[in-house]
Amino acid sequence: MSGTNASRADLARALGVDVSPALLEQALTHRSFAYENGGIPHNERLEFLGDSILGQAVTVMLYRENPTLDEGDLAKRRASLVSTLALAEVARSIGLGSHIRLGRGELLTGGNDKSSILADTVEAVIGAVYLDAGADDATAFVLRLIRPLLENPERFGAAMDPKTSLQELAARLGREAPVYTLTDTGPDHSKKFRAVVSLDSEDIASGVGSSKKQAEMAAALEAWTLLRTAAESAVATAETGASPSRPAAGS
């Protein structure tokens, strides 16, 4: 799936950093697309590099900006900020999914919105920025992507432990504890899991992942977002006399 020059220009503006077209194209190329197109270069080496740059940038930032936190708290925050869920959220915020080049099988199973693929591609783009623009620009790029998570403390906490955050929010709203239903597809060595989370026997949201835990966490974070938005809407509409609505089930 290859984007047009115009769409690549849109992505470049969203990224806010100059990357050579060739490197950016490689960063956006999933191995499934590469294998279907004669074994062209894909993004896994760039992903490997970007993972290291990401980890270093986040570690240094947390160390400098949180002088009172101990090692354990710093480690928890770093793990949250570089997690698959956090990086996938970053990817969605800049519309990265529509630019990823995927093979037919991945496209048919919604690969452009799979958290694992989105997160890996973010790391690959970070690697491309490092190679093209250097360490300082790559670090600035990482922090620009990550800071929106830090600027919303409640959202940051939910990303760290979405299942607990959802359970606590549901309790505050007087709803029953979340229930997760899991299904899986694919061969044993490459299973994909889908979790649906329900409250009061009502399906609220779903999530996918390469493990049961990842799928449940993705579903929980989506449900937390929807439930929190609905709660805020209820408060606002109560003040104006309108009728609030309950969150719709995720796809």
User: Catalytic site residues?
Assistant: 51, 123
**131's tokens:** 């190679």
Which residues face 196 on adjacent strands?
181, 206
- C-alpha span between 155 and 153 (Å, rounded): 5
Instruction: Please identify which residue in the block is written with the tokens 């062209």.
Output: 40
- CB within 8 Å of 36: residues ≥ 6 apart: 103, 104
Radius of gyration of the chain (CA): 19
Using alpha carbons, list the distances in angstroms from residue 43 to 121, 152, 238. Answer: 7, 31, 49
Q: Mutual orientation of helices 212-240 and 162-172 as an angle, nearest 10°? A: 30
Q: Is 120 annotated as a binding residue?
A: yes
Annotated binding-site residue numbers for Mg(2+): 47, 120, 123
Query: Which residues are annotated binding-site positions?
Result: 47, 120, 123
